Amino acid sequence: MTQVILNGLFVGSFYALIALGYSMVYGIIKLLNFAHGDIFMFGAYIGMTCLVAIPGIGSLGIGALAVILLVSIVLTGTTGVLIEALAYRPLRTAPRLSVLITAVGMSFFLEYGVRQIWGPDPQPWPSNGRLSDFLSTTDATGAKQQLSVPIFDGALTYSQLVILAFAVVLMAALALYIGKTREGRAMRAIALDQRAASLMGVNVNATISRVFFIGSAMAGVAGVMHGAYYSSITFLMGFLLGLKAFTAAVIGGIGNLYGAMLGGLTLGLLESIGTTLLGGEWKDVFAFVFLILFLTVKPTGILGERVVERM
């Protein structure tokens, strides 16, 4: 059972990282950015391409991952900013549905744009960037052996631990940024009352851009980590993960940051426990059962009602 929980938390940390971007954007402009999952996918493709294309990156060892993370953060963040400025901003006063449809269109654009460039087949993650290879030993027979840490009667591999720790650090940093800094306060202010925020001197457009940058960059990070861990990426990988992250955001209470983190981990756990009880083929069913369950029974999510307006 411990192992089931550990696996759930691990997968949940991906959901949480992506759910954060969903939730931040919803919090600040009340838009369900359905292109968000595809930013995650795009981040993975950027990482993969860097591993192939940057000369000498293989000689950096595990440092290569730091390089591709950085490139991915910059490029996915910028992509998010551009999407907002070009596709969503002109529609800011339009009916919600128009923007929602635009977001779905943006999602297709990213998916099939990537397919156009890199092709429809799943891409193997280059061997110079596989996290498990860095964190393993070679045993007597020459086979690679993953290093792992026992936790009660289960275990986490070093790779899982690194990813989990990274996700936790990112989330903590984001929580501090939103909760304690001047810019974070401005984001929360816009989420509550855009007019009042600009009367306080907040540059609303710049702040919304910043939210898109941060949210997209987090998704980009998750994309690189996903590729480095699972070793294969496809242009449609953001679709399912995006929907699950959306579910996680709803479970936690959309618009609420702690809700997104909590929702991500909760969904990971529910999925892990559910598949253990009912079998792996049910994996993707859980997310959507819980989505429907929450939307009908508690649409405000775990963290209650008033937090919906919060960021």
Partner 1 sequence: MSWLEVKDVDLFYGKVQALRGLSFGVEQGEIVALLGNNGAGKSTTLNMVSGIFRPATGSVNWDGHDITKIKAHKLVEMGIAQVPEGRRIFSTMTVEENLKLGGYTVRDKATITRRIERVFHLMPRLGERRSQEGGTLSGGEQQMLAIGRALITSPKLLLLDEPSMGLAPLLVAQVMEIIHHINEAGTTVLIVEQNAKAALKIAHRAYVIDNGTVTLSGPAAELAQDQRVIEAYLGM
* Residue 297: other Cβ atoms inside 10 A: 7
Stretch that binds partner 1, among 24-32, 121-129, 165-173, 185-193 (CB under 8 A): 185-193
Tell whether residue 193 is a contact of partner 1 (CB under 8 A): yes
- Closest distance to partner 1 from the beta carbon of 49 (Å): 38
Stretch that binds partner 1, among 99-107, 193-201, 211-219, 240-248 (CB under 8 A): 193-201
- Closest distance to partner 1 from the beta carbon of 178 (Å): 12
Q: What does the buried/exposed string (b/e) look like for 109-124 if buried means 16 or more CB atoms within 10 Å of the residue's CB? A: ebbeebeeeeeeeebe
Closer CB to partner 1, residue 163 or residue 190? Answer: 190
Tell whether residue 200 is a contact of partner 1 (CB under 8 A): yes
Identify the residue among 78, 132, 148, 198 touching partner 1 (CB under 8 A). 198
Identify the residue among 195, 277, 279, 296 touching partner 1 (CB under 8 A). 195
Asked whether 257 and 174 are in contact (CB, 8 A), the reply is yes
* Residue 56: other Cβ atoms inside 10 A: 7
CA-CA distance, 19 to 280, in Å (whole number)?
Answer: 23
How many Å separate Cα 1 from the centre of its chain? Answer: 26
Identify the residue among 197, 237, 251, 261 touching partner 1 (CB under 8 A). 197
CA-CA distance, 218 to 223, in Å (whole number)?
Answer: 9
Asked whether 239 and 287 are in contact (CB, 8 A), the reply is no
Q: Give φ, ψ of 155 to 5 degrees.
A: -155, 150
| Residue ranges in 154-183 that form contacts with partner 1 under rule CB under 8 A | 182
Q: What is the DSSP string of 131-163?
A: HHHHTEEE-TTS-EEE-EEEETTEEEEHHHHHH
Q: What does the buried/exposed string (b/e) look like for 3-28 if buried means 16 or more CB atoms within 10 Å of the residue's CB? A: ebbbbbbbbbbbbbbbbbbbbbbbbb
Identify the residue among 165, 199, 240, 285 touching partner 1 (CB under 8 A). 199
Tell whether residue 192 is a contact of partner 1 (CB under 8 A): yes
Tell whether residue 67 is a contact of partner 1 (CB under 8 A): no
Closer CB to partner 1, residue 197 or residue 245? Answer: 197
Tell whether residue 133 is a contact of partner 1 (CB under 8 A): no
Closer CB to partner 1, residue 147 or residue 199? Answer: 199
Tell whether residue 305 is a contact of partner 1 (CB under 8 A): no
Identify the residue among 185, 236, 273, 302 touching partner 1 (CB under 8 A). 185
- Closest distance to partner 1 from the beta carbon of 261 (Å): 18
Identify the residue among 189, 228, 237, 251 touching partner 1 (CB under 8 A). 189
Tell whether residue 96 is a contact of partner 1 (CB under 8 A): no
| Residue 90: both structure tokens together | 């002109």
* E strands, 230-281, in order: 232-233
- Closest distance to partner 1 from the beta carbon of 211 (Å): 16
CA-CA distance, 145 to 135, in Å (whole number)?
Answer: 9
- Closest distance to partner 1 from the beta carbon of 181 (Å): 10
Identify the residue among 78, 132, 154, 309 touching partner 1 (CB under 8 A). 309
Q: In DSSP terms, which residues pair with 148 in a beta bridge?
A: 157
Residues engaged in binding partner 1 (CB under 8 A): 182, 185-186, 188-189, 192-193, 195-204, 306, 309-310
